[in-house]
A and B are shown apart, each in its own frame.
Chain A
Amino acid sequence: MTVQMKVESPTGINPMIRHRSGHIGSSLPRREDRSPLLGRRRYVADLKLPGMLEVAFVRSPEAHALIRSIDTGPALALPGVHAVYTAADLAEVGSFPHTIQYIRPVDQRPLAEDRVRYVGSPYAAVVAADRYTAEDAAALVSASTEFETLPAVAVLDQALAEDAPRLYDSWPDNRLVDFPAEKPEVTKAFEEADHTFTETYVSQRQTGLPLECRGVVAEDVDGQLTVWSSTQSPHIVRTTIAMMLGIPEPQVRVILPAMGGGFGAKTHQYPEDIVLAWIARKLGRPVRWIEDRFENLVSTVHARDQRHDVEVAYDDDGTIRAVRCAAYCDVGSGEIFMPGTATVFVTAGCITGGYDFPNMEVRPVCVVTNKTPSGAYRGFGTPEGMFVMERIIDRVARLTGADRVELRRRMILQEDQMPYIMHSGGKVDSGSHAKGFERAAALIEQSLARAKARYADDPDVRVGVGYNNYVEPTTPTYHLTTGHWAGYDSATIRVDPDGAVRVALGNTDLGQGAETTAAQLAAEALGVDPDDVTVVMGDTDRAPYGLGAWGSRGAVVMTGSVLMAADRVLVKAREIAAHMLEASSDDVVLADGGFHVAGSGTPKVSWAKVATAAWARTVDLPEGMEPGLEMSGYFEPPDLEHLPGADGKVNAAATWSNGAHAGVVSVRISTGEIRIEDYAVVHDCGTMINPMLIDGQVHGAVAQGIAGAMYEHFQYDPETAQPRFASFMEYLYPTCSEVPEMTVEHFETPAPEQPLGVKGCGEGGTIGPPAVITGAVSDALADLGVDITATPVTPAAVRRAIREAAARGAAS
């Protein structure tokens, strides 16, 4: 094992942690697999408690309306219905917190009080003996509600208009956030450049769509509340419930059982968690709510939905001098905590990707409309930004005749520029940007030639290639997103009397394999077998406070916290072993699962013997030593900044992974059909703990990126703001046939400041495809004058682009 490791011992106390056993870097098959293969894994919907009642939410069918009256009588008269609650019943429950001062307050109540602002907004909850009855009753409540319809706003431009209907009466307009930006150097570059152009780029609305919908089960026993929730951050849910219900936090336990995917959609604090907790206390009976897919489509956060109005200054030789960009994000009604404002700031901060491009000026604007609130989705603003940047580069190449690859070579980050400070303050500490690009381009070169040959005789088919060089900000601060939490995470390691290790983590597992990864880390750090490590997470009573899994932070924060805790355990264990060996602890080393005196043939003291002394045979401990062998590590990633400096810049992510994507497509002119002929990913997330799991993350993320590039588009009626989709039938979730076989290769450029050099890897795959596919389609149809400026690039969009280009050509 030759992995470079800057921080051998995070506490700096003990140099014993080394890569000896090779658990780091090994593609260990997952311990998490067995239960789902056998049908035994427990997800929230699988929980059934004695006496449990079912909850159904009544959701607004109106996009924008005042609630005039709700008659709960007919629903309450239905046999099997136990209760119907509206906002009035929940008066004692607080609003969701307002924590970010530069965002306008939306005062979100768990159930909408007198006004609904999107279809799907929950305004009442029904409790019944079974789910069928609960849904019948919910329909009766819905039918017995009187709304006064208000004018709805479904389109960004309409929302920005002077005379637009306003969602919030106390606001002067529909802007949740508007962050003007002006850089003198950009203004200067525009004055000096040979040419300029303007363009508008659009990334459509999508939603994360984990296959498991959300769900909550809540139970109150003697004032002790337990909430099982499909959430990425159980501790944060616990804090929020305690705060909003006004109960002491120790009386709340939140458990995430197995999760069927999260992808960011389950990071938010949702009203259903609060309402179920409240009902369980009110009724004194366990209650369950399992979101159905229609609810999921309209009441779990949406994402993307950005429009970038761009001005570009460039020179004759293809040099891009500066870019000015108004980045609008349609955040729906804005009624969600954490607010959906952060993504467009990430877009603004990371839009330059793997390129050395300081003259970037971005003004993020978040606009409210009568649509589902938007928030987190894998990629979190980066795919939208990268799409814009790569389209700009291709356009400049086309306008100046520069070669697209050469132009990128001129701009791409070089190793000797590291650490590179981006226009936004992001500190790209290391990476393989230039060589990754070369490799990705080389990987698809032959398939490009083959595809061209294959279709050479078919005049209806054109072939093109697209590129993307991205940076993936991972392990970000949560402070700019939530206005409250920040960036650390935790691990508690206990060595039990038999020498087996228990690791409890603040991180959570959403399906990415965090348990196996954590076992590998602990095994490496403590010189034990991964099979001897039990991992506990997702339970606020059994695991230390932590922020959970989001922002591709798991690998980094688990590495840091596990190594810290392990290090502390080792220091104590070694002292105990030294006492038993009658040696100085400085001379004692750990090897082959036990402690012995370095360079001597002394017999080994096993972990079991040490731990038995610590917990049971305390008479064997050194005099005066405190019993027990359990230590915690709270790891704050180095280099992570939580607030902008005076210049407005901030390094909001602790690590910066990078990647290059390249793809070849063929496009059929007559139908607009696009076929991905080949797709290559060259990925770099520093030291890899489990390469097989990292490949899995890349595959899944690229598939979601392709979904955004070519298929998925959550649409609303532009007049009424009614969603056009109620099921998977309309929302084109890619199947196996739509996702191509891809090649994934890795470079391992360790993060210089992070333990083991690990960087995050969960989201990078989503970033490239919109840029790559639109680039490739535009390249394929270049001689027809097509330049794609919006996603998804569907067959209809291709046909439209061809027609528009022809009309432009005819007009000029």
Chain B
Amino acid sequence: MTSDQGSREIDLTVTINGMEVRRRVPARLLLSDFIRDEVGLTGTHVGCEHGYCGACTVIADGDAIRSCSTLAVQVDGSDIRTVEDLASDGELTPMQQAFHENHAMQCGFCTAGFLMTLESVDPDDYREPEQVVELLSGNLCRCTGYQNIVKAVCSVWGVEGRRRDSQ
């Protein structure tokens, strides 16, 4: 291990939440650290830093990606959206509102990741509760037991809720 590893820097231009950002960054800088520490958008959270928990999910050119296992330089030229971009003028989206009304969050640490995963898909592809459950299984939540998250999503997408007896 030498310090050279950390010293190589690369120019980077990305659009984040509609704003163009130009920076010279270390080649090894993670996208999550770039978004949080360099750009200062701390709504994207880091729960594992190894691509498993989904707390760091952001949208890059329309696709949900894990910003903790992506290098910042990999998204050069991309259009990135984070949780801060969902509500306009503080007006909650229907999904955010449903999370609030259904108590689909406790500590809120996982919430941004869930919201960005949901934002990245087409609800028409998720018509059965089992499909919703499978989609949500890519994000971890330690607090809610997921029940109210499923309920919130089903309510917004017009999916009949999970039946108890058919698990």
Is A79 positioned at the interface, with any CB of B under 8 Å from its CB? yes
Q: Judging by beta carbons under 8 Å apart, are B109 and A737 in contact?
A: no
Q: Judging by beta carbons under 8 Å apart, are B143 and A511 in contact?
A: yes
Is A20 positioned at the interface, with any CB of B under 8 Å from its CB? no
Given A33-B99, A693-B103, A728-B50, also A48-B37 (CB < 8 A): yes
Q: Judging by beta carbons under 8 Å apart, are A696 and B103 in contact?
A: yes
Partner of B6, one of A132, A451, A737: A132
Q: Judging by beta carbons under 8 Å apart, are B41 and A39 in contact?
A: yes
A120-143 interface code vs B (CB 8 A; 1 in, 0 out): 000000000001110010011001
Classify chain A: how many residues form its interface, as a range: 35 or more
Given A210-B142, A703-B145, also A260-B107 (CB < 8 A): yes
Cβ of A614 to closest chain B Cβ, rounded Å: 35
Q: How many A-B residue pairs have CB under 8 A?
A: 210
B148-165 interface code vs A (CB 8 A; 1 in, 0 out): 111000000000001111
Is B21 positioned at the interface, with any CB of A under 8 Å from its CB? no
Report A-chain residues with C-beta under 8 Å of the C-beta of B142.
Answer: 209-211, 261, 263, 700, 704, 733
Enumerate A709-744 residues with CB–CB distance to B below 8 Å: 727-729, 733, 735-737, 739-743
Partner of B45, one of A43, A143, A704: A43
Is A19 positioned at the interface, with any CB of B under 8 Å from its CB? no
Report B-chain residues with C-beta under 8 Å of the C-beta of A140.
Answer: 1
Closest to A77 in B: B3
Q: Judging by beta carbons under 8 Å apart, are B99 and A37 in contact?
A: yes
Partner-contacting stretch, out of A358-366, A403-411, A673-681: A673-681
What is the bound-complex CA distance between A37 and B109, given in angstroms? 10
Q: Judging by beta carbons under 8 Å apart, are B140 and A210 in contact?
A: no
Is B74 positioned at the interface, with any CB of A under 8 Å from its CB? no
Enumerate B19-51 residues with CB–CB distance to A below 8 Å: 26, 28-29, 33, 36-37, 40-50
What is the bound-complex CA distance between A727 and B167, given in angstroms? 28
What is the bound-complex CA distance between A45 and B147, given in angstroms? 28
Q: Which of A33, A447, A704 has the most CB of B within 10 A?
A: A33
Q: Which of B46, B92, B101, B115 has the most CB of A within 10 A?
A: B46
Cβ of B7 to closest chain A Cβ, rounded Å: 8
Given A39-B112, A211-B110, also A133-B46 (CB < 8 A): no
What is the bound-complex CA distance between A210 and B144, given in angstroms? 12
Is A42 positioned at the interface, with any CB of B under 8 Å from its CB? yes
Report B-chain residues with C-beta under 8 Å of the C-beta of A435.
Answer: none
Closest to B82 in A: A39
Given A133-B6, A737-B134, also A729-B164 (CB < 8 A): no
B104-142 interface code vs A (CB 8 A; 1 in, 0 out): 011111111001000000000000000001101111111
Cβ of A622 to closest chain B Cβ, rounded Å: 45
Is A584 positioned at the interface, with any CB of B under 8 Å from its CB? no
Q: Judging by beta carbons under 8 Å apart, are A132 and B43 in contact?
A: no
Is A512 positioned at the interface, with any CB of B under 8 Å from its CB? yes
Partner of A136, one of B3, B49, B147: B3
Q: Judging by beta carbons under 8 Å apart, are A211 and B53 in contact?
A: yes
Given A38-B43, A513-B106, A675-B167, also A132-B28 (CB < 8 A): yes
Report B-chain residues with C-beta under 8 Å of the C-beta of A446.
Answer: 165
Closest to B106 in A: A511
What is the bound-complex CA distance between A450 and B166, given in angstroms? 10
Q: Judging by beta carbons under 8 Å apart, are B48 and A727 in contact?
A: yes
Closest to A511 in B: B107
Given A211-B55, A211-B109, A211-B110, also A37-B87 (CB < 8 A): yes
What is the bound-complex CA distance between A47 and B88, given in angstroms? 25
Given A261-B143, A741-B167, also A736-B108 (CB < 8 A): no
Q: Judging by beta carbons under 8 Å apart, are B164 and A743 in contact?
A: yes
Report A-chain residues with C-beta under 8 Å of the C-beta of B43.
Answer: 36, 38-41
Closest to B52 in A: A728
Partner of B107, one of A40, A143, A212: A212
Is A692 positioned at the interface, with any CB of B under 8 Å from its CB? yes
Cβ of B133 to closest chain A Cβ, rounded Å: 5
Is A776 positioned at the interface, with any CB of B under 8 Å from its CB? no
Closest to A696 in B: B103
Is A34 positioned at the interface, with any CB of B under 8 Å from its CB? yes
Cβ of A129 to closest chain B Cβ, rounded Å: 10
Given A79-B3, A692-B103, also A702-B140 (CB < 8 A): no
Is A285 positioned at the interface, with any CB of B under 8 Å from its CB? no
Given A34-B100, A136-B5, also A39-B52 (CB < 8 A): no
Partner of B84, one of A33, A39, A209, A729: A39
Report A-chain residues with C-beta under 8 Å of the C-beta of B49.
Answer: 292-293
Q: Judging by beta carbons under 8 Å apart, are A729 and B52 in contact?
A: yes
Q: Judging by beta carbons under 8 Å apart, are A36 and B164 in contact?
A: no
Cβ of B51 to closest chain A Cβ, rounded Å: 9
Given A33-B100, A39-B43, A676-B167, also A259-B107 (CB < 8 A): yes
Q: Judging by beta carbons under 8 Å apart, are B42 and A46 in contact?
A: yes
Partner of B164, one of A78, A292, A695, A742: A742
Report B-chain residues with C-beta under 8 Å of the C-beta of A35.
Answer: 108
Report A-chain residues with C-beta under 8 Å of the C-beta of B87.
Answer: 37-38
Closest to A676 in B: B167
Report B-chain residues with C-beta under 8 Å of the C-beta of A433.
Answer: none
A517-554 interface code vs B (CB 8 A; 1 in, 0 out): 00000000000000000000000000000000000000
Is A510 positioned at the interface, with any CB of B under 8 Å from its CB? yes
Report B-chain residues with C-beta under 8 Å of the C-beta of A735.
Answer: 136-140, 146
Report A-chain residues with C-beta under 8 Å of the C-beta of B139.
Answer: 735-736
What is the bound-complex CA distance between A323 and B106, given in angstroms? 40
Q: Judging by beta carbons under 8 Å apart, are A742 and B46 in contact?
A: no
Report B-chain residues with C-beta under 8 Å of the C-beta of A42.
Answer: 42
What is the bound-complex CA distance between A513 and B28, given in angstroms? 38
Closest to A260 in B: B109
Is B60 positioned at the interface, with any CB of A under 8 Å from its CB? no
Report B-chain residues with C-beta under 8 Å of the C-beta of A32.
Answer: 108
Is A29 positioned at the interface, with any CB of B under 8 Å from its CB? yes
Q: Judging by beta carbons under 8 Å apart, are A45 and B46 in contact?
A: yes
Is B72 positioned at the interface, with any CB of A under 8 Å from its CB? no
Q: Judging by beta carbons under 8 Å apart, are A739 and B145 in contact?
A: yes
Cβ of A617 to closest chain B Cβ, rounded Å: 36
Q: Judging by beta carbons under 8 Å apart, are A699 and B148 in contact?
A: yes
Enumerate A365-385 residues with CB–CB distance to B below 8 Å: none
Q: Judging by beta carbons under 8 Å apart, are A729 and B50 in contact?
A: yes
Closest to B113 in A: A211
Q: Judging by beta carbons under 8 Å apart, are A258 and B108 in contact?
A: yes
Enumerate A37-78 residues with CB–CB distance to B below 8 Å: 37-43, 45-46, 48, 78
Partner of B1, one of A33, A139, A511, A729: A139
What is the bound-complex CA distance between A446 and B165, given in angstroms? 9
Q: Judging by beta carbons under 8 Å apart, are A37 and B111 in contact?
A: yes
* 18 A–B contacts, CB within 8 A, in A order: A34-B92, A37-B99, A39-B41, A139-B1, A210-B142, A258-B107, A292-B49, A513-B106, A695-B103, A696-B148, A699-B145, A701-B145, A728-B50, A735-B138, A736-B137, A737-B133, A740-B167, A742-B164
Q: Which 4 A-B pairs have the closest CB atoms?
A: A39-B43, A511-B107, A36-B108, A260-B109
Other A-B pairs beyond A34-B92, A211-B53, A211-B142, 17, CB < 8 Å: A36-B107, A37-B87, A37-B100, A42-B42, A46-B36, A132-B28, A210-B107, A210-B142, A260-B108, A292-B49, A510-B107, A696-B106, A699-B147, A700-B143, A701-B145, A704-B142, A741-B167
